[in-house]
Structures are given as C-alpha cells and as structure tokens.
Chain A
Amino acid sequence: MPSRNLVEVKVNAVLQVKNLTKIYKVDSVETPALRGVNLEVGQGEFAALAGPSGSGKTTLLNLIGGLDHPTSGQVWLGQQRIDGLSKAQLANLRLWNLGFVFQAYNLIPVLSALENAAFVLELRGESPAERQAKARAALETLGMGEFADRRPNQLSGGQQQRVAVARALAAKPKIILADEPTANLDSKTGIALIEHMRALNREQGMTFLFSSHDPRLLEHVDRVVYLEDGRVQGVV
C-alpha cells in the first residue's frame, strides 16, 4: 500500500508557485520557457492559464503536476514542497493528490471506459468492489454510464475526454490539472465537457486548473492567468 504521507495539504491554498523558472537546454542552446512565475490556486477554484502557443502554459502545468523538474523556484502543494522530490515520491504524490486530463485523452486502449476510470484506483490498491463503485459513479456523473463497457476506440473524442475526466474525478484528487482539454473537441462537445466540469466544481467543490486558449472555456472559469513568453502578464 503506497504511503499517504504526502497528502497533508492545506485547504486554503491548494497550490502555490514561487518564482518558478524552466530553461530547456539543447546542445548548449538555452531556451527559457518560464521566467519567474508566481501563482496561487485556492481550494474549490476553477481557474485557467491562458496565453498564446509557446507562452509556457503546458510547461507550468507539467511543473505543477510534478511531471517535470523546474530549473529554479518552488512548487507547493498545500504544505508540501514538491519541486525537489524524487521520481518515486513525485509518482506517489500524483497518485494520491493530483488528477490529470490531457489534450489527447490518453486513455489506455486495452481497458474499457469503466476500467480506465478505475485505473488510478487500481494503482492505489483499492479493492475491486470499491474501484468499480467509484469509477461507475464518476462515469455516471459525466453521463457516460451507458458506455462503461466500451473500449476507447468505440467512443467519440468527446466521450473519450469525458472518460478521462471521470478517471481523474473517481480518484477524488485535491486538484485536477487539465491541459487543453477541449482542444481536440468540436464546439458542441467542448461546451458540454466544460459544463460537466463546471458542475463538478460547483457541486463537489473540485479544484480545477486548466491550460487553454479556448475562449469557450475561459468564459466559464473564475480566474484567468495570462502568460506570455514565460511570464505572468495579468490575472482576470
């Protein structure tokens, strides 16, 4: 059973980023992606990082999610500073605290919708009955109950993305990080997904942080943090 010692997260500020920089280095050529970003996300917020391509949204989201290592600066998840954690510690932190929704859905093709939604719970070692109940509930919340037994290749893009949200939701993380979740969806499907996530935020108090430049999504969020050239340009 994985340790839960990284779960102690302060409820007020779920997330804090302090003076974060990330510089990519290829063949001694340095490319700064983030230049001293500061950010705070509170419990129950529905916030977005916005900005043009290359502004650093995805990089910031990856660093917040412990998927990449910053060049300098700090990332705090509640009371836990995470930027210096080892690979195994970061995996454990993600498993118990973070939910992810990716632009390309990234479902596991050999698993059904229900099994995909239960995947994180399986990694946590929860019992089959518990996993099934939580995953089914998450799928039904997102209107995907009747597609539970379908494999990803039998689902539309919008349906796949809803399963991906269900996967994040079923594990009840402290915060769901969603990277361009509507980018591959048509207008109607995108709006439906946004409404689903907004309802989850309102009804269950789930904290969301998006990276997006989709105006349909940005209209619905509480706060938009604008990035440009790796810097915060403004907050609306």
Chain B
Amino acid sequence: MFNLLTLSWRNVWRQRGRSLLTAGAVGLAVFFALVYQGLIGAVENGMYNTLAQAVGHLQVRVAGYRDKRELRDLLIPGAEAVKAKLQQAQPQAEIVVSLEVPALLSGESRSRGVLLVGQEQPPKFAQNFRAQFLQAGQMPTSNTQGIALGAALARALQVKLGDAVYAYAPNTQGSGAAAYKVVALLHFPDPAAEGRAAYLSLAAAQALAAPGGATRLELHLPITRYSQDSLVSALRPALAIALGPGLSVETWREVNPSLAQVLALLQPLVLVMMLIFFVLAGLMVVNTVYLGLLERTREFGVITALGAGPAKVTWMVLLESLLLCLSGAVGGGLLGVGLVTILSKGFTYPGLDKIGGTFGIPQVLYPSLSVWAVLGTLLFAVLTGLLAAWWPARVAAQMEPVEAMRFNA
C-alpha cells in the first residue's frame, strides 16, 4: 500500500527528463564538492607535512633570534642538554639538530652567499629527505667532508658531482674556511630554495663554525594530518616553561606565517566553493519544483479539498524536493567517492608542480575523504532540497482549493 513517500517518489519522476536534469545538477554539485574536498584535503595535508618536515612542528632557538646577527649570539647554549630535555618531554618525537652558518661558497670560478646547514637527522628523516630531494650522488655523512648542493646552486657555481667547493664562514674564533667535495645534488620544487641549498653533516658544520654548537632544534611529532595540528599549539606553552626564558619555542605557523595563512584559507575556500555549487544546483531545484507545482495546481487543489492541511501540503512538496536532491546526491556521491578512492593511491600534476612547490605543495598528492566530509556534503544536498522547495511549498500550502481546482497552467 502506498504512502506519502511513494506518492512523492512517483510525482518526482512524472517529468522524467526534467527531474533527471535537476537530479544531475545536484549530483554534479555533490561530485564536485567531494572531489574538491578530497583535493583540498590532500593539498592541506601535503603542505602541512612539507612545512612540518622542513622546520619541525615546533622549533627551539635562542630567544629574540630574529634580531641577532652574530653566529655566536645564535648558538643555543648547552644544545645537547636542551635536546635531552626535549626528548624527555616528548619521547615519541624525533629531534633534528641543525647548525646554520652564513657562508661564502666558491667553486673554481664563481662564488655565492649561502646559508650552510649542518644537520643531524634521525634515520627516518634522512631517508625521507633523500627520497624527496636527492637528484644525484649520496648525502654527506658525519665522517666525510662532503657537501650536498641544490642543483641550481651547483649550476650557479659551475660545479658538478666530485668537484671541490670552498666555504668561508664566521666561527666562534673569528672566521674559518674549509674545502668540501660535492657529493650530492638536490632538487627542490621551489627554484629559489634550490638556488641556496647547501647541506653538510652536523659534525662538518660544527668543525667549520662552532664545535658542539647548534642554532636550531626541531621537534617532529608523530602527526601527519592538518586536522591534528591543535596538539602542536597545546604543547608549546609547556615546552616553553620547561626550557626557560633564554630560548624561544615557536610553532611551524610562527616560523612560516605566510604559508600558514595560505593553509588556513583552504577550508573557508572549500566552504565558499561548496556554497557556489549548491546555490547553482538549488536554483535548478527551485525551477523544477515550482514548474511541477504549476503543472499540478489542480491536483494540489483536489488534495487540499480532500482534507490535506497546509502543513501536510508543505511536507508533500518538501518531500518531493528532498527525494529529487537525494537521488542526485547519491549518484554524485558514489561517483565522487569513487574518483577520490582511485586518486587516493597518489597522483602527480605535471606542469603545475613548480608553482605548487613554492607553496610547499608536494609533487604527489593523496586525496582522501572522511566520513564526516561525505555526510556533510549530503547534508548540504538535503538543505538545498529543503531551502529550494520552501517557497514553492508555502505557495502550495496557501492555495485556496476552489481557485486551485479552477487553475489552468
């Protein structure tokens, strides 16, 4: 036996072509919204991980380091002890120790001012770094005088793998110099970063500039999703207190405020785009529901005459719109989830990866969708159905039965 749901379902498909077109528009909005969310989520997590990997989720430096110029003022006092404190406070975190030394780097015929980075990375980080940026050669180890250069910097210095380069840098004694062998070439998505990248082992940098010294300690937490970032902000005050007033603890946001702002804009952008998709689809739904109402004015008159009150008539129109939107939303949802599932294995975007690289977007993106994102998008479709049909539903509910039964479309 039928009920109002089956009646509404049959009414929806009385004008099959028009309903299919409208359901298709809603389906397209749901499809785009899901794919868009999947992509933005991938960009967001990719940027987050690139940024966090480059500077750490939290970073320890000497207090007021931005205003200090001399290397000796930038050295963290008792760096080993500070590292031990950090490790004790966050046993699960990986700690990267860096010594950054401004230096003049010379090849046989050309020189460039660079920031030499001596780094001691845990094995997992070293492996990730190699996988992402190593173009040729082997990364320098602590017992060699090797240096890894950005490929662009190597071109600028007119050196290649196996060539010698010479570094002149300030040190705790005044100034120092050392010769290194180019053992690796690095490729970075951001050409500017590639033009200034010069990496040594921490031991080599310390031997050049500051024995046992470090200018930066990065704390890398076991977080891979941007949505978990609130943990980072929550951790910061406790660490700052534990380390005392001479050191500053900054989150990756404070280290990279401009990219953090770009990252913060992505979610609002998703919302705006979804609103645009659904407003356009909603206009089609209004049109379809209202045309259906006009064509069936006499029928609504009869239904009202037989005893359907304003509330029931309103509900009947809303139900038709909801069914129309949901049938499109289910189709679009399946396609959207399907495409994101296929892309979730990873995809590249050749041609745009250089631009992406300047924003810290990795070359391979892994879109994904949470259950909440899918449910939220379906909720958008439901709201579109309700809002789009609200006005036609009120028109139907206010019809006088006699006038409606006399109506000719």
- Are A87 and B309 in contact, CB atoms less than 8 angstroms apart? yes
Q: Does B298 contact A (CB under 8 A)?
A: yes
Q: How many residues of B contact A (CB 8 A)?
A: 26
Report the Cα distance A94→B306, complex, angstroms: 6
CB of B310 within 8 A of CB of A119, answer no
Question: Given that A68-B400, A68-B402 are known contacts, is A92 also in contact with B309, CB under 8 Å in the complex?
Answer: yes
A2 to B125, CA, bound (A): 70
Report which B residues bind A (CB closer than 8 A).
1-4, 7, 10-11, 14, 298-299, 302-312, 398, 400-402, 405
CB pair B308 A91 closer than 8 Å: yes
Query: Which residues of chain A have C-beta atoms less than 8 A from B1's C-beta?
Result: 115, 118, 128-129, 131-132
Given the complex, which residues of A lie within 8 Å of B306, measured CB to CB?
94-95, 100, 119-120, 123, 167
Contacts of A141 in B (CB 8 A): none
Please measure, in the bound complex, the distance between the C-alpha atom of A108 and the C-alpha atom of B402, giving whole angstroms. 17
Q: List residues of chain A with CB within 8 A of the CB of B401.
A: 67-68
Q: Assess whether A106 is in contact with B405, with CB atoms less than 8 Å apart.
A: yes
A94 touches B312 (CB 8 A): no
Residues of B within 8 A of A94 (CB): 305-307
Given A88-B310, A122-B4, are A108 and B303 neighbors across the interface (CB < 8 Å)?
A: yes
Contact B304 A91 (CB under 8 A): yes
With contacts A108-B303, A110-B11, A115-B2 known, is A123 near B310, CB below 8 A?
Answer: no
CB-CB < 8 A to B299: which residues of A?
106, 108-109
Q: Is the CB of A91 within 8 A of B7?
A: no
Q: Which residue of B lies closest to A129 (CB)?
A: B1
User: Are the CB atoms of A110 and B302 closer together than 8 Å?
Assistant: no
Give A109 to B3 CA distance when docked, in angstroms: 15
Within 8 A of B (CB), among A138-180: 167
Q: Which residue of A lies closest to B1 (CB)?
A: A128
Tell me the A24-71 residues at the B interface (CB within 8 Å). Answer: 62, 65, 67-68
Q: Is A102 among interface residues, defined by CB-CB distance under 8 A? A: yes
Beyond A67-B401, A118-B1, A131-B1, is A111–B307 a contact (Cβ under 8 Å)?
no
20 contacts between A and B (CB under 8 A): A65-B305, A68-B400, A87-B309, A91-B304, A91-B308, A95-B306, A106-B298, A106-B302, A108-B299, A108-B303, A110-B7, A110-B11, A110-B14, A111-B2, A115-B1, A119-B306, A122-B4, A123-B308, A123-B312, A128-B3
Asked if A96 is at the interface (CB within 8 A of a chain B CB), the reply is yes
Asked if B405 and A102 make an inter-chain contact with CB atoms under 8 angstroms apart, the answer reads: yes
List which A81-121 residues lie within 8 A (CB) of chain B: 87-88, 91-92, 94-96, 98, 100, 102, 106, 108-111, 115, 118-120
Min distance, Cβ B16 to any Cβ of chain A, angstroms: 12
Given contacts A106-B302, A108-B7, A123-B312, contact A67 B402 (CB under 8 A): yes
The 8 closest A-B pairs by CB, nearest first: A95-B307, A91-B309, A128-B1, A110-B10, A106-B302, A94-B307, A88-B309, A68-B402
Complex: how many Å from CA A77 to CA B18?
A: 44
For residue A139, give the distance in angstroms from its CB to the closest CB of chain B.
Answer: 13
Q: Would you call A91 and B307 a contact (CB within 8 A)?
A: yes
Contact B310 A91 (CB under 8 A): yes
In the bound assembly, the distance between CA atoms of A115 and B311 in angstroms comes to 22
Which residues of chain B come closer than 8 Å to A122, judged between CB atoms? Answer: 2-4
Give the contacting residue for B307; candidates A96, A108, A118, A131; CB below 8 A: A96
How many angstroms between the C-alpha atoms of A131 and B7 in the bound complex? 15
When C-beta atoms are compared, the residue in chain B nearest to A2 turns out to be B309
